[in-house]
Amino acid sequence: MTTTDVYGHGVPAEDDFGYVQAIRSGELIHVSGQLALDEAGAFRHPDDFVAQLELTYANFDRILDHYGATRSQIVSQVLYVVGLQRHAQAMAKGNRAYFGDHRPVSTAVGITDLTFPGQVVEISAIVDTTLPR
């Protein structure tokens, strides 16, 4: 039987938009698009790609910690980036810094805008908890 567990950061947007940050279904964890929200749910670092990327990955770590998972169990990610060509090198550097030697499947999509003014990155992912931690 498949078990389901949902996780939220407890920020107002979860109720406002009707979503959770992550849902575990069986051995997979599906992570909603993470972005540069602080623990109170305020958007941070408008137009600063590097700072947004760092806070976005920190929010991933909060989710992974909840489930007892690690970065090495992330099997895929999708990055939505405003100004993809402009931020490509910083994206690659931040991705390597976050994952180290681990290499998940990754797709980067250039888009025109995101939810908040000055938001330049959002990342969703899938985690496989059967992989070594």
**pLDDT by 10-residue block (mean), the chain, 133 residues:** 82 92 97 96 97 98 98 98 98 98 98 97 98 95
pTM score? 0.94
Smallest Cα–Cα separation from 35: which of 19, 130, 24? 19
Alpha carbon distance 104, 128 (integer Å): 11
pLDDT given at position 84:
98
Residue with structure tokens 């109720």?
Answer: 15
Grouping H, G, I as helix, E, B as strand and the rest as coil, residue 94 is: helix
What was the pLDDT predicted at 124?
98
Summary count for the chain: helices (H), strands (E)? 3, 6
